[in-house]
Amino acid sequence: MVTSDQQKGKMQAAKGKQELADRLSKALRDNLHRRKAQARSRKSTAVDCDLPHQPEKDSAKKFS
């Protein structure tokens, strides 16, 4: 026979495990979003570096 104290203990343990799993899930999601944002910024920086530098029209007029 299970007493009410044992049931409460089991429910609290299950609740604690669920809270732990929820915190882990959130941390993993946040980490994934952060890594994706970093990858996007690295990719855009790499694309900017690959583009040839084109002088501005105003700077060409100053030296003429």
Best-predicted range by mean pLDDT among 24-28, 39-43, 45-49?
24-28
- Per-residue tokens: 5: 């104290």
pTM of the model: 0.56
Model confidence at 38: pLDDT above 70 = yes
The predicted-structure confidence for 10-33, as pLDDT tens digits, reads as follows 999 999 999 999 999 999 999 999
Instruction: Over range 53-60, report the average pLDDT.
Output: 59
Tell me what the pLDDT averaged over the chain comes to: 83
For residue 53, the one-letter residue type is H
If you compute the radius of gyration of the chain from its CA atoms, what whole number of angstroms results?
A: 29
Mean pLDDT within 27-53: 86
